Amino acid sequence: MSMLDAREAADLLRLHVKRVQRLAHSGVLPGVRIGRKWLFRREDLAALLSPKPEGKAPALGGVSARNHLAGTVVGLAMDGLMAEVRLKIGDQELVAVITRSSAERLGLAIGHRAFALVKSTDVLIGTEAP
């Protein structure tokens, strides 16, 4: 069993070390705190990076966002020019507001697989190519 400190985990996950520490503290990342130091099992982090059996991660060539969150559409409310999209990602829900035309162009519907791209304060919604 290989253990990583927060800096090594951050390098593996391609995140800032402070972000890794916050995610571990909130329970999102599996880790253990010993004194002031966070430790992570390499196998646990590698499992988070590997594609899940229920659906492979989409190929997203040319997108600069590193945080790709695959999920299932569990809510879709369209009103006027805007659409509210709720994605179930693990045991969490993510809500994004996008244009109605984008939701229609993507063919979003409850039960369909989709993914969110998180970049700074923006959340983008996308689907895999047919």
On whether residue 35 sits in a domain, the answer given is yes
Q: Give 10-residue mean pLDDT values along the chain (130 residues).
A: 89 88 85 91 82 51 63 93 93 91 90 82 75
Residue 43 structural domain: 3-49
Task: Give the predicted TM-score (pTM) of the model.
Answer: 0.47
On whether residue 9 sits in a domain, the answer given is yes
On whether residue 58 sits in a domain, the answer given is no
Q: Quick one: pLDDT at residue 55?
A: 47
When divided into structural domains, the chain yields a total of 2
DSSP annotation string for the chain = --EEEHHHHHHHHTS-HHHHHHHHHTTSS--EEETTEEEEEHHHHHHHHSPBTTBPPPP-TT----EEEEEEEEEEEEETTEEEEEEEETTEEEEEEEEHHHHHHHT--TT-EEEEEEETTEEEEE----
Q: Quick one: pLDDT at residue 83?
A: 94
Q: Quick one: pLDDT at residue 117?
A: 80
